[in-house]
Structure 1
């Protein structure tokens, strides 16, 4: 990997730290001087700042809170975490946004090779497109989960931007986007045409209100995800002391729970926190973002790797007749999580040919027992037969 893309954390940052025993800052491998880039060989989670927000047309984007967020995170006590952390410093804006995309893509591609999960502290959310493109040569199609008030489909014919990058994922080659899930959308921020389009593509969307009523329902959404992102504009502004953001959103507890579910996702190999430059450089905002980071890593620590064939041998199998179909459910004896078997059409060179179990909830099993086909079953079946 070309380390010239990165700039180390300034020495003044470390001079102002006053770390207590057991704090994260005392145990993280940080890039603090040129020529001493962290070795990722045994690192499970790496942090990277990407300081580019030019596509938002911001005149004077403020990136000062990047180090303030890190300071809040470094001061936290790590839990019972048997893993190695690294801080790779920052990627500063390249000559063009595309240069920044290239640097981020190369960094994440290297992390994927090293089996290192990358936690991105980013500017404008079009950086998620570079995050997605890092998977082009990774051998599998991508399931992207986005926590956002907007779908970010945009005009695919227009230049890429923070509210059009998902549309680029759909229409631009190579076509590696298998599934897109949005968590927390607010209807009045999304055109009805976009809502209809996502339904036609059999993508999943979850309104803010329904998620807040039952936060645990989003856990299965992350279980098969490859990459995830959170737009901080999806957080209620009162929890960030940010009056310029949207009026509604997730509260602090809810967004931390969602971040933990993202970390628990066995296949999530990158997570982006975007639009951080929209936040004020204040203790409330910096602390909440640091807590989101903490809970994501906490989730990684408690992964159970239930996608492995050996783990699935211990699942309990349930078969439920519904009309002319027989639905097959599986329950993990280790975690109590549920899966639903979905028929996969045989296709030549299908990267998904071995994927047969769809994460679901106990409520989906109950629905089948009451002779109702779960929505996730028929949606997945129709999509897989196209």
Structure 2
């Protein structure tokens, strides 16, 4: 089979059967680079990179009777940084592979700007892509890896050297031109992969969990670097991760996926402070979930009975109509909880027993058992101190918690 035919008909199958086989992985990536290069021989604009929009319309991907992505519609504005966030099996990587052209949707369309690219193979989409496992060429130096897409595009040697040098400065690899990539740290290798994906100035950059193999400190460092580089280059970025902190620190907009559907999309603040579902509230950030039933409901808020005649306050999720007796989930963040001296239970104040406390530097983490045997966590500021007694009173402002109708009488956390 010819190489172009392999790209058109076989690359999706190869990607589905990688199974962490790095040789196969590199083979697919080499084919991807070659095909992209041969369809984009010239780089006409040597100036600032310009991003274009990505418009996903009703994307559905089915494998037999299994629906992996179910009718997803999403617009990624030109020059923005959008993250697909979700647990394993949520469909985020399948959606990204669809945008890249490695997976063709069963139904739906994908537009780059006003161009329908749904049936185009990867080599005709002119995208940059960064993978979790880097997929660098181990026999090449740093500069040679970065230069590879330009060489394949027929760019002259006189143009390649300054382009590579400029990109190496941008990603913090100045002076490492001749270093073998096998001698680099994980963070440095990821910088090489990022530079190689950007050196030919693609209007769209796709990243599939690119920081997943790095340690926590290196991930946090590269998060800010990648965001800064994306802003400098102006490319449109679509980023996939299951790490909530990563998504919140890097994104202009977050799209939370669950079971192949969009649960919510919005800014980091919108996702965290006003979650649209119990799944989003529980998945993004830390959360305490209390199950109960509506005792009183009004436009201003709800009283929820959580057992033992204990009443707690919360605001209902926008759009929900809650009536007395409805089964609900109430979500409250640990950092929104206050602890005080024990007092008689009244609506909004419930007794609890402190089980443990841990000093975390920026906060004190306290575990509290409620009378219904539910254990919750509270995060207090160190300067506020913690109660002197084991018996405490637990409270929060009703605006700090959200009440969700339960789905089919069960939690909506996807368990």
TM-score calculated relative to the size of structure 2: 0.25
Name whichever structure is richer in strand by fraction.
Answer: 2
TM-score calculated relative to the size of structure 1: 0.27
Task: Look at both structures and tell me which one has the larger radius of gyration over its CA atoms.
Answer: 2
Name whichever structure is richer in helix by fraction.
Answer: 1
